[in-house]
Amino acid sequence: MKIKTQKKDYQISGATSKTFSVDTNDTMVIKLLRDKMYKNKIGAVAREISSNSRDANREAGRNDSPIVITISSENNLLSEETNSISFQDNGVGISPERMDNIFLKYGGSTKRDSDEFTGGFGIGAKTPFAYTDNFFISTIVEEKGKRLEYLYQAIITSDGKNEVSRMIELGSNETTSQTGTKITVPLKSEEDRKQFEKEVVFCTNFWSVKPIIKGFEYHNHIVGKNFSYENEDCIIFSDSEGEDNKLFNSDTKYVALIDEIPYAINHESVEDELGVKLPRDRRSNKWVLKFKTGEITVSGSREDIEYVKGNLNNIYDKYSKVLLEGRELVKEYHNKAESYLEACSMAEYLRTVSLNYYSSRNISEGLKGMSLQYIIFLGEIVATTEMEAFPDFGNEETVGQFHFETFTLDNYEMDNNNRMVKNRGYGITNASSNIWGKDMYELDLPKAVTSRNAQLKQQHSDNGYVLIRKLDYAQYKNIKYGNQNASLIQFNNSKERDEKLLNLIGLKLNKYSEVERLTNSKKRSQNKTEIVKVNVRILNKNRWEMKWESASINYDKKGEVFLNATQDINTNTPNHNITSFCYYEKDKLSDFKIDRYSGSNVVNGIPSQIDAIRQILLANGIQTIGISSSKVGYFKNVPTIKKALNNLMSKDKDKLIENCIQSAIIKSMGVHNSSIINELNAKDKIKSSLVRLSDKYKNVIALSNRNLSVKTMLNIFNGKVNSNFLKSINIELEESFTNDIKVANKCLNENPILKMILDVSSATGYGGYRLDKSTDEFKNIVSSYTDTCKVK
C-alpha cells in the first residue's frame, strides 16, 4: 500500500537542522509497537497475517490461489495439548537475508510503492508478538535451482533488564514442495480458539478468493449466501445470523471494504464533519462500500479508518453513487410489469419489503426471475431514499389496494367442513391478493341460486371463485352514506371510476345467469360411481385446548387416489403449511378424543411417544390424520405415522431433528448456560466438552429464530427427552455428543454445588430466583470444594 504523505520545502537560513529518529535501544518503543497499539490483539493477528499471506500470493503472481488457514494440534513443535493456528501461502518464500527485516525490524516494508498489496507500515508481520511471546515460521525458497525449507522460532526473551526479540533458526533441509511461507501461532485457550475463528471469518469473509478453512469448529463463512445485491461499488447483505455469528454490531449500518477487508464506519463522524445525513433503520441490512487500497487511509494499527475529511468525502461520494444506481434498479424493477394489475402487485410487493412488513405469510419468494434477497435490497433503496414506490403504469397511477364504491366482491373459498363459504378476509382488495387469479362472475340475477352455487363449488373446489354484484343508485346511497343523501352525479362518477378500474385490472366477468345448474341426479351419479368421501379426524388446538376435529377428504375409487386431500387437510390445519399427510389407525373414529380431566390434554388411545412423533411431523409440514380400521384400504399409498417419520429422518440431511433433541438434552442438564461455564476452573478437556454443549445449544436456538420448524420442535421437546423416546424414533446420537454428555454428567455428579448453580441460574419466570455469587456465604461453600470441576 502506498503511504500518502505531504511534503513542503522550506528555506532554512542561519539555523541548524536535526532529524528525528527512533532509539532502537529503548525497548519501551518496541513494546509499544508490538503490544500497546492494538485494542483487539487476536483480531490484529488474524487480519495482518492473513493479509500478508494473501499479499505473498499476489507478489508471486498467484492471485487466484487461496491461502490456507488451519487450527490443529498436529505440530511437532508444540505439545499435544496445545492447539495452534497457521496461515499458509504459496508465495516465493522468505530468504534468510530478508527474514530479520520482515519479522524483527519495525518499519521495514517492501509494499509502499504499490497499491496492489494490503501492507505497507512494516509492522504487520510482527503482530503475533502482540498475542504471544513466541511463534514459528516455516518458509520454502528457491535458491540456485534448489528449494530449501527453513524453520524459525520468533521469541521474546529477556537480557536481564529488558525484553529482546530474537529469531532462532531451528534447521533447514532441501525439499521439492511448493514455495511459500507458513506462520504458526500457539493458542492459549479454547476461548482464544473461538475468538481466532471469529476474527478470521470477519476479516476474510468478503475476499473474492476466500481462504481454505480447516479445523474450525465454531465459525465458518456465514455471509456470502445472504448477499442481497453486489456490484463493483457495494455489497448489501443481511447480517442476521444470530448474535454469535453476526459480523457487525447492531449500531453499524455502513462498512468500508478496503482491499476486501471490512471496517465499520462511524456514521456520526461522517454526518458531523460533512453536515450530511446517512439514513439508518432497525433492520439488519448492512451497506458495504467497496474501496481500492489507498482510496481510504487507515490508522497505524490498521484497526480502523482515519476520520479525516478526504476519507469522509470519499465515503459519502461512494454512498451517493450506490443510491443513484439503486434508484435506477428500482425503475428497472417496475418496468418489468406487463400489465396494470402486475404493476400494482409489484409496487405493493416492494412497498411491503421497504416498510419491513414482510413475513413468511405475505412474502416468501422472488418475483419475475428476481430473488427475494434482491427485492429486499430494492426495498432497502426505497426505504433509505424515501423513493416513490408506486410509479405510474402508462398514464395510470398504480395503487396497493383497490377501492370499489359501486361494486361488492364476495370471495368464496372452501372451509374446514368442505363447504364453499363467502370469505371477506383482510386484504381481499390488495393488488397482490390471490382473488385476481380466480374466475369471476357478475351476479346479474336478483340473488344467488343454490343449484348454480353447487355447480361453481364443484368446478372451483381447488381455488374458489368471486361473485361481483354491481350496485344501483339506491344501494349505493345506503351502503356508502348510511341512509344519507348522495347525489346521482357522485354515483355516476364512482361507477365510471370502478368500471375503468376493472378494465385496467383486466378482469373478464362471466355471467352468473349462464352458469349451468347442478342437479341432484348429477351429484348422486358422480358420487356413487367414482367419488367417495372418507371421514377422518384431525387434531388441532382450539383456543386453549386440543381437539379432534371432523373432516372429510375425497377419494377417487376409479383412479385409486385422493383428490385435493392435502389442500383440504391444509385448510383444516391453521397456522401450518401442510405439504403431505400420513395416518394413524384406531378401531373407530370415536376413539380419537381428548380426556379433558387429565389436566394435560392427553390424547386418548395414543401413547405419548407417538403424539410427540406426530408433532415432529407437523412441525415439518406433515399432518397425521386419524382413520378408522374400516377405511385402511383407501390409504394403501399413504404412509403410516412411523413410516412418515422414517422418511423424514432419511431426508434430514442437516440433522435438524437430531440437533433439536440434543438441545433439549443439554437444556435438561442445565449446561446450556455459557456465562456459568466460562467461570469454571476446570481441566481443558472437561471445559471443552461443556463449552461445545453450550455452543451447540446456542447455535440451535439461533437457528430457531430463522427456521419455524426448528422453533416448533424445540417447543415440543422443551428440555424433556428420555431414552424411551430416542428408542421410539429409532435415533442414535453422534458419538462425540454422547461423550461430551458423559463428561458433563461426571462433572455435575462430582460437583453438586455446580449443579445447584446451573439449576438456579436457569430459573426464570414466576418463582424464579438467582444465586448471588458475591456473598461470603456462597464463596465459603465454593471454597470447600476442591474437585477438578469447580467454580471460580
pLDDT score at 99: 82
Beta strand extents in 6-67 (DSSP E only): none
Q: Is residue 335 part of a domain?
A: no
Residue with the larger pLDDT of the pair 441 and 8: 441
Q: What is the average per-residue pLDDT within 76-86?
A: 71
Lowest mean pLDDT among 362-376, 385-399, 505-519: 362-376
Number of domains in the chain: 5
Q: Is 101 helix (H, G, I), strand (E, B) or coil?
A: helix
On the question of pLDDT at 285 being above 90, the answer is no
Grid cell locating 485: 343523501
The confidence band for 765, taking pLDDT boundaries of 50, 70 and 90, is very low
Q: At a CB cut-off of 8 Å and minimum separation 6, what does 717 contact?
A: 612, 660, 661, 663, 664
Check: CB of residue 678 under 8 Å from CB of residue 191. yes
Check: CB of residue 673 under 8 Å from CB of residue 721. no
On the question of pLDDT at 452 being above 50, the answer is yes
Q: Is residue 9 part of a domain?
A: no
**Residue finishing a domain among 603, 625, 651:** 651
Same domain? For 594 and 674 the reply is no
On the question of pLDDT at 122 being above 80, the answer is no
The confidence band for 497, taking pLDDT boundaries of 50, 70 and 90, is very high
pLDDT score at 117: 44
pLDDT score at 58: 93
Q: Give tens-digit pLDDT for 175-210.
A: 999 999 999 999 999 999 999 999 999 999 999 999
pLDDT score at 769: 42
Which range marks the domain in which residue 290 is found? 224-329
Same domain? For 700 and 734 the reply is yes
Q: Give tens-digit pLDDT for 6-41.
A: 444 545 455 554 444 454 454 555 566 666 778 899
Same domain? For 662 and 693 the reply is yes
Residue with the larger pLDDT of the pair 626 and 362: 626
pLDDT score at 584: 92
| Whole-number Cα distances in Å, 641 to 569, 613, 638, 646 | 16, 8, 9, 9
93: left (phi over 0), alpha (psi -120 to 50) or beta: left
What is the average pLDDT value for the chain, to the nearest integer? Answer: 79
Check: CB of residue 781 under 8 Å from CB of residue 756. no
Grid cell locating 281: 433503520
On the question of pLDDT at 228 being above 60, the answer is yes
Strand 420-422 relative to strand 439-442: parallel, antiparallel, unpaired?
A: unpaired
Same domain? For 179 and 236 the reply is no
Same domain? For 730 and 776 the reply is yes
pLDDT score at 77: 57
On the question of pLDDT at 69 being above 90, the answer is yes
The confidence band for 283, taking pLDDT boundaries of 50, 70 and 90, is low
pLDDT score at 415: 76
| Rounded Cα–Cα distance for residues 401 and 428 (Å) | 9
Q: Is 714 exposed, middle or buried (0-12, 13-18, 19+ CB in 10 A)?
A: buried
Q: Is residue 371 part of a domain?
A: no
Q: What is the average per-residue pLDDT within 743-763?
A: 68
Q: Give tens-digit pLDDT for 49-63.
A: 999 999 999 999 999
In the numeric block, the cell 455446580 is attached to 754
pLDDT score at 675: 64
Q: Is residue 363 part of a domain?
A: no
- Alpha helix segments (H runs only) across 417-532: 450-459, 473-481, 488-505, 520-529
On the question of pLDDT at 639 being above 60, the answer is yes
pLDDT score at 640: 92
pLDDT score at 355: 65
Same domain? For 45 and 179 the reply is yes
Q: Is residue 100 part of a domain?
A: yes
Q: What is the average per-residue pLDDT within 761-782?
A: 52
| Rounded Cα–Cα distance for residues 410 and 110 (Å) | 77
Q: Give tens-digit pLDDT for 127-178.
A: 898 899 899 999 999 988 899 999 999 888 877 677 777 888 999 999 999 9
Same domain? For 69 and 131 the reply is yes
Same domain? For 602 and 456 the reply is no
| Rounded Cα–Cα distance for residues 56 and 60 (Å) | 6
Q: Give tens-digit pLDDT for 294-306.
A: 899 998 888 999 9
Q: What is the average per-residue pLDDT within 393-397?
A: 88
On the question of pLDDT at 225 being above 80, the answer is no
Kindly write down the DSSP assignment for every residue of 346-395, as one continuous string: HHHHHHHHHTT---TTT--S-BTTB-HHHHHHHHHHHHHHT--S---BTT
pLDDT score at 162: 73
Lowest mean pLDDT among 241-250, 674-683, 760-769: 760-769
- Please give the model's pTM, rounded to 2 decimal places: 0.57
Q: Give tens-digit pLDDT for 513-570.
A: 999 988 765 554 444 457 888 999 988 776 567 778 888 898 988 888 898 888 888 7
Q: What is the average per-residue pLDDT within 81-96?
A: 90
pLDDT score at 671: 79
Q: Is residue 372 part of a domain?
A: no
pLDDT score at 314: 95
**Residue finishing a domain among 277, 310, 329:** 329
| Rounded Cα–Cα distance for residues 244 and 173 (Å) | 44
Tell me which residue of 410, 415, 414, 518 sits closest to 460, measured CA to CA: 414
| Rounded Cα–Cα distance for residues 705 and 466 (Å) | 38
Same domain? For 31 and 162 the reply is yes
| Whole-number Cα distances in Å, 31 to 24, 35, 38, 49, 142 | 11, 6, 11, 19, 34
Tell me which residue of 2, 3, 318, 42 sits closest to 203, measured CA to CA: 42
Q: Give tens-digit pLDDT for 572-606.
A: 776 677 889 999 999 998 888 776 544 444 555 56
Q: Is residue 350 part of a domain?
A: no
On the question of pLDDT at 728 being above 60, the answer is yes
Residue with the larger pLDDT of the pair 490 and 6: 490
pLDDT score at 219: 76
| Whole-number Cα distances in Å, 468 to 238, 459, 464, 480, 507 | 43, 18, 14, 17, 11
Same domain? For 450 and 481 the reply is yes
| Rounded Cα–Cα distance for residues 315 and 257 (Å) | 10
Check: CB of residue 57 under 8 Å from CB of residue 317. no
Tell me which residue of 130, 132, 110, 131 sits closest to 122, measured CA to CA: 110
Q: Is residue 391 part of a domain?
A: no
Percent of the chain exceeding pLDDT 70 equals 75
Count CB-CB contacts under 10 A for residue 552: 15
Check: CB of residue 391 under 8 Å from CB of residue 382. no
Same domain? For 55 and 179 the reply is yes
pLDDT score at 234: 92
Grid cell locating 769: 430466583
**Residue finishing a domain among 520, 538, 568:** 520
pLDDT score at 24: 47
Same domain? For 256 and 200 the reply is no
The confidence band for 756, taking pLDDT boundaries of 50, 70 and 90, is low
Check: CB of residue 409 under 8 Å from CB of residue 435. yes
